[in-house]
Amino acid sequence: DAGVIQSPRHEVTEMGQEVTLRCKPISGHNSLFWYRQTMMRGLELLIYFNNNVPIDDSGMPEDRFSAKMPNASFSTLKIQPSEPRDSAVYFCASSLGSSTTFEVVAASREQYFGPGTRLTVT
């Protein structure tokens, strides 16, 4: 298996532009997580899907951020409009999980992270 695939690996955009990050989870995994990592704040969980349904989006910073999972093999994280403070590395992770309970899935099942997308907003 190729692991979790993210695209693009690097994205540079101007403030105000729309940015779309993409993720393909490991085949057979039914839980997907979006994280953001910065030097100042470390890793932060943004949103979590189970069986394509958003379960916990309390980490999404504001309305400019939105995430979708139209099917089991694809998810997007969109920022519109982007701002310089959105500059970070965005990770997607997937895991096996059969429960909708966030903790059961996120805590007890190993998450496999993608290589990340480095976003720079100028």
Give the residues lining the site for another protein (CB under 8 A).
4, 42-45, 55-56, 91, 93, 100-104, 106-108, 110-111, 113-116
CB 26 within 8 A of CB 17: no
The least CB distance from residue 12 to another protein, in Å, is 16
Nearer to another protein, 17 or 99 (CB): 99
DSSP state of 15: T
**Residue in 38, 39, 32 with CA at minimum distance from that of residue 61:** 38
Closest distance of CB 46 from another protein, Å? 11
Smallest distance, Å, CB 117 to another protein?
A: 11
**Beta carbons of 75 and 69 less than 8 angstroms apart:** yes
Q: Exposed (0-12), middle (13-18) or buried (19+): which is 114, by Cβ within 10 Å?
A: buried
Of 17 and 101, which CB lies nearer to another protein in the complex structure? 101
First-to-final CA distance of the chain:
36
Is the CB of 82 or the CB of 95 nearer to another protein? 95
CB of 103 to another protein, least distance (A): 4
